Amino acid sequence: MTDIAKAAGCSQAAVSFVLNETPGTRISQQTRDRVLEAARMLGYVAPAYAPASVVSAYSGLDGVIGFAVDQLATSPEAIVAIEGARQASWNTGNVLLVAQTLSDPVMEPRAIKALTSGGISALIYMTIYTREVELPAYIYELNIPTVLLNCYTTDYAFPAVVPSEIAGGQSSTRHLVAHGHHRIATITGEIWMQAAQDRLTGYRRALATADIPFDPELVIEGDWSASAGYSATMRLLALKEPPTAIFCQNDRTAIGCYEALKDAGLRIPHDMSVVGYDDEEISRHLVPPLTTSVLPHHAMGQWAIEHLDPASRPGKRRYPIAKLECSLVKRHSVAAPPTTAPRVVHDVQSTV
């Protein structure tokens, strides 16, 4: 919808109102026509809401679906996933009821009990950080279908969906290789996190596939922040042989990377190519706009609703973990490497 808003010259809210046919909004017919034409040109298909007379694939649900998530405020991913689930549930006439649990050992079971006592007919259990979870016994004892979103259990007792992070890291790095880069650095997140580990694995696989030797000095651990992106980029520029491209493992790191490169007098992408990850809103407005990968939380929310099987119960079968693609969004931050090494205009010792 952000892309449609840009093409139509209006706000994202206006796009939402038009595509969802929200009653009571005073949007001119001219604006409506522009939005619909932009949506058509971009290949966007608005959700087709099922008539009440149509029996849904999961019509065994009784109208209210619970959504338990550990964190709502730390990042936009939870809200995006909830919106995907909300759209899919509304398409089938179901309401979504959301609770934040903070993974608190006392309050989480109380929150889930409040959802179940409120009459939910299914549960989606989400974590902000992709990870393996050990679910407490009371989740297994729920007599309703349950889906895990952005997490999974080792016993595969529940349907689960996560981003395909290894493939995402591989695609990001391969994009730089395809432009002729051979000295490619990466700035990771906190390496104890599975997302950072998987994106690094994808990076290494792409290098290996292209017969590019792995160089550990080109891997800098960050903490997902812009400050870490800035200091890591300065460290990379201070190397005897700096990279010609940097894969930042999230967009906030890329913001810091942009600032460091500009402070060093380097142009993006003429002197240094940069790729991000997450496709946050800011990535569209950086100069130049940032090539990045989409975290598919919206699609994951929809997937979770679509895989609530009224007949399923924990322990009846093993469910494979579904992995959704982190598709690459190509913008203007990547080009062929410079023919000569870029000249840094001032000292680039590591700094924050």
C-alpha dist (Å) from residue 108 to 81, 121, 128, 179, 215: 19, 18, 15, 48, 44
- Please give the residue that has the higher pLDDT: either 174 or 142: 174
Q: What confidence score (pLDDT) does residue 75 get? A: 74
pLDDT at 28 over 90: no
pLDDT value for 59: 45
Is pLDDT at 9 greater than 90 in this prediction? no
Residues 114 and 215 in one domain: no
pLDDT (mean) for 28-47: 79
| Interval 84-100 mean pLDDT | 91
Does some domain include residue 335? Answer: no
The residue segments making up the domain with residue 257 are: 165-291
Mean pLDDT (whole number) for 310-339: 87
- My answer on whether 26 and 115 are in the same domain is no
| Closest by CA position to 88, among listed 125, 132, 47 | 47
Residue 149, burial from CB neighbour count under 10 angstroms (0-12, 13-18, 19+): buried
Q: Please tell me whether residues 234 and 261 are part of one structural domain.
A: yes
Cβ-Cβ contacts under 8 Å for 240 (sequence gap 6 or more):
none
pLDDT band at 56 (very low <50, low <70, confident <90, very high): very low
Give the range among 9-18, 43-52, 104-113, 132-141 with minimum mean pLDDT: 43-52
Residues 16 and 71 in one domain: no
Average pLDDT of the residues in 85-113: 90
For 216-240, write each residue's pLDDT tens digit. 999 999 999 999 999 999 999 999 9
Residue 341 belongs to a domain: no
In a domain, 116, yes or no: yes
47 part of a folded domain: no
Cβ-contact 177, 206 below 8 angstroms:
yes
140/176 same-domain check: no
Assess whether 147 and 209 both reside in one domain: no
- Confidence at residue 45, expressed as pLDDT on a 0 to 100 scale: 60
Lowest mean pLDDT among 24-33, 271-280, 287-296: 24-33
Task: Name the helix (H) or strand (E) containing 14.
Answer: helix 12-19
CB 208 within 8 Å of CB 169:
no
pLDDT at 50: 36
Mean pLDDT of the chain: 88
- The pLDDT value recorded for residue 350 is 44
Listed ranges 59-73, 161-175, 336-350; the one with the highest mean pLDDT: 161-175
pLDDT of residue 55: 32
CA distance 189 to 248: 9
Tokens, residue 59: 């019509």
Residue-wise pLDDT tens digits, 265-277: 999 999 999 999 9
Is residue 182 domain-shared with residue 280, that is, in the same domain? yes
Task: Identify the residue whose tokens are 């694995």.
Answer: 201
49 occurs within a structural domain: no
179-208 b/e (C-beta count within 10 Å ≥ 16 → b): eebebbbbbbbeeebebbbbbbebbbbbbe
In a domain, residue 268? The reply is yes
Q: For position 78, which CATH number holds?
A: 3.40.50.2300
Please report, for residues 44, 131, 319, the alpha-carbon distance to residue 152 in angstroms, rounded to integers and kept in the order given: 31, 7, 10
- Whole-number Å distance between alpha carbons of 27 and 18: 8
One domain for residues 249 and 194: yes
Number of domains making up the chain: 3
Q: Is residue 334 situated within a structural domain?
A: no
Residue 345, burial from CB neighbour count under 10 angstroms (0-12, 13-18, 19+): exposed
Regarding whether 99 and 191 lie in a shared domain, the answer is: no
Q: By C-alpha distance, which of 116, 124, 117 is closest to 89?
A: 124
Apex 103 CA angle, 132 and 76, nearest 5: 80
Distance CA 292, CA 276 (A): 4
- The amino acid at 334: V
pLDDT of residue 61: 54
Number of C-beta neighbours around residue 67 at 10 A: 27
Residue 257 lies in a domain: yes
What local confidence, expressed as pLDDT, does residue 77 receive?
87
- 281 and 178, same structural domain? yes
Instruction: Examine the domain organization and report whether 84 and 143 are in the same domain.
Output: yes
* Least confident piece of the model among 17-31, 94-108, 233-247, 276-290: 17-31
- 172 and 125 together in one domain: no
pLDDT band per the 50, 70, 90 thresholds, residue 117: confident
Determine the Cα angle at 26 with ends 23 and 28, to 5°: 115
- C-alpha to C-alpha distance for 207 and 169, rounded to whole angstroms: 11
Contacts of 143 (CB under 8 A, 6+ apart): 313
Provide mean pLDDT across the span 135-151.
Answer: 91
